[in-house]
């Protein structure tokens, strides 16, 4: 399968971009593995004719918004996102219309139609800095992730109004089970994604985006980490720091030891091969929506560049 994928990507001038929450074998075959921001940055820069986006639907849409002339393929179109689903575009537009004069900041985990009614898009890597790039008295609507929004409000002293959305994976981490793990591994650092609920964030030694968590594990002098984000990222953490130990934080109400995003895990090597072979399923974005959605996405990329991210 790997040889066949390698042959196809060469023949078709295709690039394979994968999120850290993909299975290890997809991460290993990808040209680039990164978080949501890195995927958008690579998509914006690639000279490939085809982008095979191994992640979830909104990530493919973001690539298509940035590269309307390229073919953007997804191994499985059913790979959605509960957080994006928690924010229907019509309801979001209606909410925003009730606050004239407010700046609308949307997390990248949204549909293209939500991005079309947004002033600037953010990811977990740049959200804090982009919010802080606005004057302190700016009235801001932030959606859809209320946990990330609350976290940024607490860090910055802002009072952004928040959409009531969340990621079912990150909300599922159990504080009690994390505390139990900390008793078993007293030397371990608890590292957490800001999509998690506040009590989990409060007991954490470090909070950051997927890429920031990875960087922390590389740079930290600690040898053990309790990882409160989707467990796929542990694959790269182990590759980068083979001498360190990574303990996945478990979800609530489950006997499973780790927490996986069922949408992300829909993608397989075989589906990746088939999508490259057949050039389908393809991600499409309506031209009128794309025209509006590209502005806040480009604005995010420009701000990230200025901020050195
Ligand atoms: P980042 O890739 O920005 O860390 O976001 C995590 C996530 O949940 C992606 O779906
Ligand atoms: Fe969406 Fe959560 Fe899965 Fe990320 S981990 S794709 S936010 S459901």
Statement: residue 104 has pLDDT above 90: yes
Domain match, 57 and 95 both: no
Give a yes or no: residue 192 inside a domain: yes
Region 114-142 average pLDDT:
97
Domain match, 96 and 238 both: no
pLDDT of residue 131: 98
56 alpha carbon, closest ligand? 2
CA-nearest of 202, 256, 200, 255 to 229 is 200
Domain match, 9 and 68 both: yes
pLDDT of residue 252: 83
**Residue 276 in contact with ligand 2 by CB distance below 6 A:** no
Domain match, 278 and 301 both: no
Domain match, 156 and 301 both: yes
**Residue 35 in contact with ligand 2 by CB distance below 6 A:** no
Give a yes or no: residue 259 inside a domain: no
User: How many Å apart are CA 37 and CA 271, to the nearest integer?
Assistant: 24
User: How many Å apart are CA 288 and CA 285, to the nearest integer?
Assistant: 9
Domain match, 237 and 268 both: no
| pTM of the predicted protein model | 0.96
Domain match, 136 and 209 both: no
Q: Which of 143, 167, 173 to mutate to test the pocket of ligand 2 (most atoms within 8 A of CB)?
A: 167
Cα 83 to ligand 2 centroid, rounded to whole Å: 6
Give a yes or no: residue 23 inside a domain: yes
User: How many Å apart are CA 5 and CA 277, to the nearest integer?
Assistant: 9
Query: Of all protein residues, whose CA lies closest to atom 3 belonging to ligand 2?
Result: 261
Atom of ligand 1 nearest to the CA of 19: 2
Q: Give the count of domains, the chain.
A: 3
Backbone angles phi, psi at 224, to 5 degrees: -130, 145
3-state secondary structure of 50: strand
pLDDT of residue 69: 97
Region 116-142 average pLDDT:
97
- Say which residues have a Cβ less than 8 Å from residue 252's Cβ, sequence separation at least 6: 172, 173, 174, 177
Give a yes or no: residue 256 inside a domain: no
Give a yes or no: residue 257 inside a domain: no
pLDDT of residue 258: 73
Domain match, 111 and 129 both: yes
pLDDT of residue 194: 97
Q: CA dist 56 to 52, 75, 183, Å?
A: 11, 9, 35
Domain match, 160 and 88 both: yes
Region 134-139 average pLDDT:
97
121 alpha carbon, closest ligand? 1
Domain match, 181 and 220 both: yes
Cα 132 to ligand 2 centroid, rounded to whole Å: 25
**Owner of token pair 């499409």:** 284
Give a yes or no: residue 255 inside a domain: no
Domain match, 155 and 301 both: yes
* 146: containing domain: 83-167+293-306
Region 73-102 average pLDDT:
97
**Residue 263 in contact with ligand 2 by CB distance below 6 A:** yes
Cα 21 to ligand 1 centroid, rounded to whole Å: 8
Name the DSSP class of 277: H
CATH code for the domain of 201: 3.40.50.10800
Mean pLDDT of the chain: 97
Domain match, 236 and 195 both: yes
Q: CA dist 27 to 9, 131, 232, 242, 269, Å?
A: 15, 31, 9, 17, 10
pLDDT of residue 15: 98
User: How many Å apart are CA 186 and CA 86, to the nearest integer?
Assistant: 37
Cα 176 to ligand 1 centroid, rounded to whole Å: 24
- Give the containing element (helix H, strand E) for 24: helix 24-29
Cα 36 to ligand 1 centroid, rounded to whole Å: 6
* Segment 157-166, tens digit of pLDDT: 999 999 999 9
Cis peptide before 298 (omega within 30 of 0): no
Q: CA dist 308 to 40, 97, 134, 194, 303, Å?
A: 15, 33, 17, 21, 9
CA-nearest of 116, 124, 154, 158 to 141 is 158
pLDDT of residue 257: 67
pLDDT band for position 17 (cuts 50, 70, 90):
very high
User: How many Å apart are CA 205 and CA 60, to the nearest integer?
Assistant: 32
As for ligand 1, residues whose beta carbon falls within 6 Å of it are 35-36, 109, 123-125, 167, 195, 209-210
Statement: residue 57 has pLDDT above 70: yes
Query: Of all protein residues, whose CA lies closest to atom 2 belonging to ligand 2?
Result: 167
* Segment 210-254, tens digit of pLDDT: 999 999 999 999 999 999 999 999 999 999 999 999 999 988 876
Statement: residue 187 has pLDDT above 90: yes
Q: How far is residue 70 CA from its own chain's centroid?
A: 22
pLDDT of residue 254: 64
């Amino acid at each position: 399968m790997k040889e066949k994928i390698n042959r196809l990507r060469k023949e078709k001038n295709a690039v394979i971009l994968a999120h850290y929450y993909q299975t290890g074998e997809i991460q290993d075959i990808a040209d680039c593995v990164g978080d949501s921001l890195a995927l958008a940055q690579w998509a914006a820069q690639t000279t490939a004719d085809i982008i095979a986006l191994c992640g979830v639907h909104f990530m493919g849409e973001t690539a298509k918004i940035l590269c309307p002339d390229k073919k953007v393929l997804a191994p499985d179109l059913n790979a959605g996102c509960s957080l994006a689903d928690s924010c229907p575009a019509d309801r979001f537009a209606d909410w925003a219309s009730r606050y004239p004069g407010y700046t609308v900041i949307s997390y990248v985990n949204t549909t293209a139609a939500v991005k079309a009614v947004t002033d600037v898009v953010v990811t977990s890597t740049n959200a804090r800095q982009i919010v802080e790039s606005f004057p302190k008295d700016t009235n801001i609507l932030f959606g859809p992730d209320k946990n990330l929004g609350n976290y940024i409000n607490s860090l910055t002293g802002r009072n952004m109004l928040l959409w009531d959305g969340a990621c079912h994976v990150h909300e599922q981490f159990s504080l009690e089970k994390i505390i139990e793990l900390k008793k078993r591994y007293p030397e371990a650092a608890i590292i957490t994604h800001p999509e998690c609920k506040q009590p989990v964030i409060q007991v954490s030694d470090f909070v950051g985006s997927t890429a920031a968590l990875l960087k922390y594990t590389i740079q930290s002098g600690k040898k053990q980490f309790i990882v409160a984000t989707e467990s796929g990222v542990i694959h790269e953490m182990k590759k980068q720091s083979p001498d360190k130990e990574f303990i996945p934080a478990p979800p609530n109400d489950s006997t499973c030891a780790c927490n996986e995003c069922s949408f992300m895990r829909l993608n397989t090597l075989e589906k990746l091969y088939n999508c490259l072979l057949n050039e389908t399923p393809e991600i499409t974005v309506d031209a009128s929506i794309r025209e509006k959605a590209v502005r806040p996405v480009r604005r995010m990329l420009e701000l990230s560049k200025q901020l050195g991210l």
